[in-house]
Structure 1
Amino acid sequence: MTGIPGPGYPEARRARTAMAVLALMGFFLSMDITLTTLLIEPMKRDMALTDIEIGLLQGTAFGLAFGLSSIPLGRMIDSRNRMRLLVVGLIVWMAGMAGTAFASSVTLLVVWRIALGVVFALIIPAALSVIADLFPPERRSVATSLFAVGQASGQAFGILAGGLMFDALTRMLTSSPGLLGGLAPWRALYLAAAVLAIVLLIPLLLIAEPARQERKETTTATSAALRELWAYRAFLVPLLLAMLFCQIALQAAAVWATPVLIRDHHLSPGQFAGWLSAVTFLGGIVGALAGGQGAELGRRRGGRAGVLIPAFVAALATAPLSFFALSPGVPLFAGMLALNLMMGAVTATIGVIAITLNVPNEIRGLALGTNVFVSAVFGVATAPAAIALLSQALGGEAMLGQAIAGVSFPSSLLAAFFFLLAMRGARRTGIVGATA
């Protein structure tokens, strides 16, 4: 079956402008992830949370909402105006951040984490789908990595600004208790993030929906889309499993690094915000850019299957880095964590690039949504809680580092194995009629 040619990619200036706005959107979205990770200990003290409840907030509530809504939202992305969906998603994200700031109970925190999980399931696949229609295949790997750069920048900014502002506000409230109108510092930071995102609404409204490229079939019926997706199972099933185990390993670092620093190394958020933001920023950006460049080199050498070669190498490298939480000193902890986050960014970037290159447009959103579903429901939703439970089984909160390594190390090895299987599957499938 030959592909149906698209009406043409937008001109370069328009594509770059849209890419910049989408990267900025990734920046704002990622602030939520790092703000919650950074501020989870102050939230725990303020609301008397247990580690199990932290795992529920960080993983289960967010991850289940993220995952369970991803497939229907992915199908919506394939058939609706994606730019309008992004606008709606941003508005709901702002409401979720503000709602978290004023939450008075664990139940309300869970409700807003669920809302934010749904928003992530909408915005990330929609943005990646738009990027795939802004740039041709030979430029798509690098363009996709720029969205990941925006996410990494947002994570670093959330840590740096959040940590420094948290300590500053805490000091100010000591002398002026009524300064924030009764809001705790962590609540004020969530509210500030929601207000800042207003600046993104106008440019997002001005971006036109790009024409869809690389179509294989004209039908958009759900039954036909599911049959078409099943045809790519030799590639997609092992890839989704590889991405799942990568997500489990990444969650171990992203969620629990801050509690380890506070509990085992006795640091306050302000004391490690500077270097942790730099570690997150450099690890995420270098990893995203390396993933994009590596995927393109792999594509040139091995076609659409070759993009996964660097992901296999990165997954293997993550295995020994899983012991970062057991580092005796902060410098070694920081170095291993930086490399761990960089490898996570490499695999995450290459995974979505592989989907955009190997799956046709009319089911691309569904494929991306399925990836989100598997990684979120079985990774994001379970890994933080699994580490908390393993820590308790090993002897309590003092065993958190051992629990992190116990979950992350085997997950990294399994990810590398499934990347190899996905490469083999990609050679047997792919977009019919499309060039490598």
Structure 2
Amino acid sequence: MDRVDRSPETGAAPSRQPRAWYIVGLLTALAVLSFLDRYILALLAAPLAKDLRLSDSQVALVIGLAFAVVYAVGGIPIAQLIDRYRRKPILVVGVLLWSGLTIAAAFAQSFTTLLICRAGVALGEAVLAPAAISLIADLFPHGQRATPTSVFASVTSIMSKGAFLLGAGALAIASMLDPYVRLANWRMALIIVGVPGLFLAILVAFTMREPARIAAPNETRDAGDFAPFVRYLSDNWRLYLPFYVGVMAFGVFAIAAVSWVPSLLVRGFALEPATACLWIGVIGSISGFLGTFFWPWLAGRFVRAGKHGAIFIAMALAGAVLIFGAGLGYANASLAVVLAGLAVAQFATSAGAAMPPLAIQAFGPPRMRAKLTSLNQIAIHLIGSSLGPLAVAWLALGWPGAPRALGYGLAALGVVTGMVGSLSLVWASRAARTLSQPGVAMTPAPQSI
């Protein structure tokens, strides 16, 4: 059991900044590895399918839906543990699980074995985001969480595209080792990306000191139970329903873009796959990184101007930018304009990665933050993975035979998700003024976002 600091939530958190930033650095490094382990299979799909004699449906199940379901649904009981017990041991077990099973997948000889390994990877990775958001909230004072949270969240925007670059590097190393190791390159690549996580797990276990939880006034340990959490959501559905709908809208488009933009560049503009991945990786990583810090900065400006619900207002504006970037960019016949649309759309959807953790830290009760983060993961990964790629494919059917039909589908989806996201988050910004929590007035402190 962990010690609970009964100081008010708006009070000062531990002030040992170097130690706090060291922990943020560890969590960010773990996030980079988790995305690499998650996306590496997409790069290895062709040789993997050939060696294991997998159908396209089996490959899609291993890479997409099966991973997303376990990651999202498994995160709920894991978040319950994180909200109640010490977070460091749970985090170490999760990292060891996903890293070890990434390595184990390198030795898979059948679809069933590979599926079990990937399910275990998903379960292990489901630990990281809820634990990290909870830890960062207790490491920094209420008004100083935006920057460390943005640093951690920036990995989502960068690695959704940058994982292709790092994955290509792992494959290159595997090719260099080919004369010395009697393993297929795709198997060696899985080992290469899995091993660093084992070392980081050791660092977390022996060098990370878990901060005490900063409890809200009148908060009891029972606040971490599931029944109070359900009551809290029921009492505050006017904020959380539109909030998660907005998050879902960003997730649907972001995952659709990851799935289909490479094919758009290859089919519609005759780029080589390697060239397409290079453009996507460089442009997407840079624009995503910039957006991850811009949107929290904008929300901070709104707070200083006295606007309520600043986080949600900034996200609503990001939805409007998505409409512009995707709607005008992806449907264009010029490669340069499409790449510009990619940059603007990635800049906009980075708000869906950067802002929800800040909202959960600002409005969520301390012993419910992990579960709120788990719901955020469901909105992004389970619903986004299920709807996003299928929606683009369905919308593209409206232009049968057109070489850039996928671009039209992405443009249409960007307009729809941007509108849904913006309207939902405007609703959430209004509801934020009256959000209730037992014993706490949950409007963020003026200096925070």
TM-score by shorter chain over 0.5: yes
Q: Structure 2 counterpart of 1:20, which letter?
A: G
Q: Distance in 1 between matches of 2:161 and 2:348?
A: 16
- State which of 339, 351, 355 in structure 2 corresponds to 1:346: 351
Paired position in structure 1 for 2:209: 208
Q: Distance in 1 between matches of 2:166 and 2:357?
A: 29
Which stretch has the larger CA shift, 321-330 or 424-433? 321-330
Partner of 1:227 in structure 2? 231
Aligned partner of 1:26 in structure 2 is: 31
The amino acid across from 1:309 in the alignment is: I
Distance 1:167 1:16 in 2: 32
Residue 297 of structure 1 contacts residue 307 of structure 1 at CA under 8 Å; is this kept in 2? no
Matches of residues 292-311 of structure 1 in structure 2 within 5 Å?
Answer: 292-302=296-306, 305-311=309-315
Do the aligned residues in 1 keep the contact of 2:160 with 2:258 (CA within 8 Å)?
no
For normalisation by structure 1, the TM-score amounts to 0.87
Q: Quote the residue 1:69 is aligned against.
A: 74
Q: What aligned pairs does 1:243-262 form with structure 2 within 5 A after superposition?
A: 243-262=247-266
- What residue is the counterpart of 1:127 in the other structure? 132
**What is the letter of the counterpart of residue 230 of structure 1?**
S
Which segment is superposed worse, 376-385 or 68-77? 376-385
What is the aligned counterpart of 1:405 among 398, 407, 411?
Answer: 411
TM-superposed deviation, 1:327: 4.7
Q: CA deviation at 1:393?
A: 8.2
Q: Which residue of 1 aligns with 2:430?
A: 424
**How many residue pairs get matched?**
429
* Cα separation, 2, equivalents of 1:408 and 1:56: 25
Q: CA-to-partner distance for each residue in 1:180-220, whole Å, 9 max, x for gaps?
A: 5241x333322210012233123211212211124252023
Report the more deviating stretch, 123-132 or 187-196. 187-196
Alpha-carbon distance in structure 2 between the residues aligned to 1:84 and 1:259: 41
Give the AA of the match of 1:209: E
After superposition, give the CA deviation of every residue in 1:208-257 in whole Å (9 maximum; x if it has no partner): 22111242520233222321232221111110010011100101112222
Cα distance in 1 for residues equivalent to 2:396 and 2:108 = 28
Q: Is the 8 A contact 1:291 1:347 kept in 2?
A: no
In 1, Cα distance between equivalents of 2:406 and 2:104: 30
- Report what 1:362 is aligned to: 367
Deviation for aligned residue 1:157:
4.8
- Aligned partner of 1:5 in structure 2 is 8
Contact 1:8 1:211 in 2 (8 A): no
Deviation at 1:362, TM superposition (A): 1.8
Q: CA contact under 8 A between 1:167 and 1:270: conserved in structure 2?
A: no
* 8 Å CA contact 2:266, 2:272 repeated in 1: yes
Question: For residue 238 of structure 1, what is the aligned residue in structure 2?
Answer: 242
Q: Evaluate the alpha carbon distance shift between residue 287 and residue 70 of structure 1 in structure 2; reply closer, same or farther with a 3 A threshold.
A: same
Distance 2:304 2:169 in 1: 44
Aligned mate of 1:318, from 300, 315, 322: 322
Mapped to 2, the partners of 1:384 and 1:139 lie a distance apart of 37
Consecutive unaligned residues of structure 1, counting only runs of 5 or more, are: none
Kept after mapping to 2: 8 A contact 1:38/1:258: no
For residues 97-123 of structure 1, what are the alpha-carbon distances to aligned partners after superposition, in whole Å with 9 as ceiling and x for unaligned? 223333344444433333233233221
Mapped to 1, the partners of 2:318 and 2:253 lie a distance apart of: 12
Report Cα offsets for 1:340-384 as digits up to 9, x if no partner.
222111232112211210111121222111222233332223323
Closer/same/farther in 2, CA of residues 321 and 39 from structure 1, 3 Å limit: farther
Identify the range of structure 1 (384-393 vs 345-354) with the bigger mean alpha-carbon deviation: 384-393
Aligned equivalent of 1:278 = 282
Amino acid at match of 2:210: E
**Distance change >3 Å, CA 140–CA 264, structure 1 → 2:** same
Instruction: Quickly say closer, same or farther: Cα 1:41–1:302, change in 2 above 3 A.
Output: farther
Contact 1:97 1:191 (8 Å CA) reproduced: yes
The SS at the match of 1:181 is coil
Following superposition of structure 1 onto structure 2, how do residues 72-87 of structure 1 map, counting pairs within 5 Å? 72-87=77-92
- Written as runs of structure 1 = structure 2, the 5 A alignment for 1:176-195 is 180-183=181-184, 185-195=185-195
Letter in 1 for 2:226: T
Paired amino acid for 2:258: A
Counterpart of 2:3 in structure 1 is none
Of 300-309 and 351-360, deviating more is 300-309
Name which structure has the greater RCO, CA cutoff 8 Å, separation 6+: 1
1:332 maps to amino acid: V
Residue 126 of structure 2 aligns to a residue in which SS? helix
- Counterpart amino acid of 2:261? A
TM-score of the aligned structures, taking structure 2 as reference length: 0.84
Task: Say which of 281, 295, 311 aligns to 1:291.
Answer: 295
The Cα of 1:417 is off from its aligned counterpart by 0.8
Secondary structure of 2:213's counterpart equals coil
Q: Does 1:149 align with 2:150?
A: no
Tell me, in whole angstroms, the C-alpha distance in 1 between the residues paired with 2:98 and 2:253.
Answer: 26
Corresponding letter in the other structure for 1:252: A
Identity %: 24
CA-to-partner distance for each residue in 1:129-178, whole Å, 9 max, x for gaps? 111111122111121101023444545553223235546866x69xx7x6
Aligned residues: CA RMSD: 3.1
Instruction: Sort the Cα spacing of 1:70 and 1:282 in 2 relative to 1 into closer, same or farther, 3 A.
Output: same
For the 8 Å contact 2:235–2:436, the answer to whether it is kept is: no
Matched, 1:159 2:164: yes
- Aligned pairs for 1:330-345 (under 5 A) are 330-345=335-350
Is contact 1:164–1:273 with CA below 8 Å preserved after alignment? no
SS, match of residue 69 in structure 1: helix
